[in-house]
Amino acid sequence: MQITGLLHGSRLLKHVDFPCSEVLGPGASEDEIQAFLDKHGLVFVKPIFKGAIGKKGKAGLVGMVRDLKSALAEKERLYFAEHKHGNVTAKANGVTFEAGVPAEHEVYFSITDDSQFRAPTMTLTHRGGVDIEELGKDEIVTVPFDALTGLKAFVVANALTDIGAPKEIISPLVQQLPKLWELMHHYGMTTLELNPIRMRPGKNGRLMPVACDFKCGFDRDDPRVARLGLPDQLFASDISPFEQEVNQLRTHQGQSDVFVINEKGTILAPTFGGGANSLVTEVLGDAAIISSDFGGNPPYEKMKSVASICYKHFLAQTNVLFIIGGKSNNTDILETLRGMGDALREHFATRGPVPLYVVVGRGGPNLVRGFGNLADTLDSLGLPYRFFGFDSAISEVVNYAKDVDLWMRDGGREEIARHLGISAAA
């Protein structure tokens, strides 16, 4: 859940009255763009990506224009631009026109929770507008501050003094930057970055910080985000329809965190526990359809609902239904296996049987009763299975599931389909 760019960023900054460069959205008419150019002279054309896509400037994805013809040419070039950053490839949908702010000073500012300090931490430099990793240690300051008192003016003033910031920028920044803590802390953000903030001279020559780019991340577990009234579709690209459906069931009591690893995978692995999630997803690799954590002692009804959604989206292509976790501490194995078994039975009843092999690796309360219940269900559905207790190494159980998947790909699926009297096709 991230937002980049000023199209939405400027709206957020208005919540705390932080000055921001003017921006026109993708729907701006030629007349509006012309008027915008007339007013500001210099205009930046930037593609709109959903989520966090860094280093657009370096990738040549920011256009700098001074006339309408160039503005429209850049709009055409950037409107559906593609940008690969790390593992993520994003496709733009639209551009913004952002007013250039003439300034001598560019400031980098961010707040995030730093694990080295275990506190909210401000990073600040008056040499902004560049990659901060490229700066010398004496040019940039990273200061933790008290979350209860917040980012106070003196914290900013001390920091700027420490890095020898030009004195004309200190006062305006000390006045304006603490507002950003209000925005970050009270609206459910985990990180907020403005780079650059340009120091625009105003009347009397006094400098005014103006945000010229915006980036923030939201905490999906914080209801304060809703205060901003952001449209859901802003974050829609983050998640597939499947994830969206499952995440509706996301509560603290019984997690339902999922991430689609490979839409063409053949092992459907409902996984229990954050640790198991890490290990299982790592060992399964691309054979896995989803990475999930359904731990946290989900009640029967919730487990059944989550499993139903998983089956609805992915069972047809699944070779191995792989229910896996460590030795649970308080997740009731009977309730979870019963929920998943009943959902499977209903899926078969409403959508017809699927040739599956079921592998389970689990430990925890009511383990054998859970195994017994699931075995009954699978027996009645005519499906083959193998259940491992907690005394088998979890990684070996994962490897076993992978081996069964290979056997399924190599004719096993057809064999099971024949037993069930159905087609093997996914």
Partner 1 sequence: MNKQRIQGFPYYLGINALSDMATREDRVCVLNIMGGESRQVTPTSHAFSGGNVVFGTAPGKAGSVLKTPAGDIPVYNNVREGLDAGHDFNVGVVYLPPSGVRDGVAELIRVNSGLEKIVIITEKIAVHDAREIRAMAQANNIDIVGGNCLGVADSWNRVRIGGALGGDHPDESLLKGSVSIFSNSGGFTTTIAQYLATEGWGTTTLISSGKDVYIHYAARDFAHALKNDDRTKAAVLYVEPGGYYEHDIDFGKPTVACVVGRWKSKLTRAVGHAGAMAGTGDKAEDKENWFIEAFGTEGVYTPDNPVVSKKGAVVNNISDIPAALTAVMELNGETPDFPSTGSLALKPWMANDRGLNLPEELALKPVKPSAPYDEQVEALKEHIGAMVARQTMKDKSGASVMDPKSQVTSVHGHSVLDLALEPLEANFALPLVHEIANENGRALLDVAVAAEVNLVGDPILVAADAAREAGNAPNAVMATAAAIVGPNRLERALNCTDMLIELFAHSGLQDGSDEDFDTSGITLDEQSRALFLAGPEDKDDPRPEAMLKAVAARGGKSVFLKFLGGLDARLNRDAILAAIALTISWGPLMRKRITKLTAHTLPWYLRLYGVMVGATIPGTHHQSGSLCGIPREERFSEWTMADLCYLAMTGKKPTPEESLPLQILVGLLISNGPGSISAQGAKGAVAADGPQTPDRVQINKAMLGFLSHCGYSHGGNGFEGMAFLLQEFEGKGLTDPTDPNHGIDLKQMARDFAKDYKRAKAEAKELGSEVRALPGVHHPIFKGKPVNHDPRERFIAGFMKERGDYNIFHAFYRELVQALYDTGASRYVFCVNVDAVIAALLLSLLWKDYQSGALKKHDLENAAFTVFLYGRMIGSAAEIDDHLNRGRNMDTRTPASACGHVV
Let me know: does 297 contact 320? Beta carbons within 8 Å. no
Residue among 20 and 321 whose Cβ is closer to partner 1: 321
Chain-centroid distance of CA 13 in Å reads 22
For the bound state, the minimum distance from the C-beta of residue 223 to partner 1, rounded and expressed in Å, comes to 7
Cβ proximity to partner 1: between 204 and 350 the closer is 350
CB 284 within 8 A of CB 402: yes
Which residue, 66 or 224, has its beta carbon nearer to partner 1? 224
53: its two tokens: 């896509």
- H-state helical runs in 149-209: 153-162, 167-176, 178-186
In the bound state with partner 1, the residue whose beta carbon lies nearer, of 121 and 176, is 121
CB of 245: closest distance to partner 1 in angstroms? 16
The single residue listed with the structure tokens 């937002």 is 3
C-alpha to C-alpha distance for 327 and 296, rounded to whole angstroms: 13
Shortest Å, Cβ 126 to partner 1: 22
Specify whether the CB–CB gap between 325 and 361 falls below 8 A. yes
Nearer to partner 1, 77 or 179 (CB): 179
Angle between helices 68-78 and 30-40 (to 10 degrees): 120
CA proximity to 331, closest of 361, 362, 358: 362
What minimum distance in Å lies between the beta carbon of 208 and partner 1?
Answer: 29
Least Å distance between CB 398 and partner 1?
A: 10
Minimum CB separation of residue 62 from partner 1 in Å reads 22
Using alpha carbons, list the distances in angstroms from residue 107 to 4, 201, 347, 387, 414. Answer: 18, 14, 57, 59, 64
As a whole number of angstroms, the distance between CA 160 and CA 424 comes to 68
- Cβ closest to partner 1, residue 94 vs residue 275: 275
In whole angstroms, the minimum distance from the beta carbon of 104 to partner 1 comes to 29
- Longest C-alpha distance within the chain, in Å? 86
CB nearer to partner 1: pick between 213 and 342: 342
For residue 100, the minimal CB distance to partner 1 (Å) is 29
Q: How many helices (DSSP H) and strands (DSSP E) are in the chain?
A: 13, 20
SS3 state at 328: coil
Nearer to partner 1 by Cβ, of 95 and 280: the residue is 280
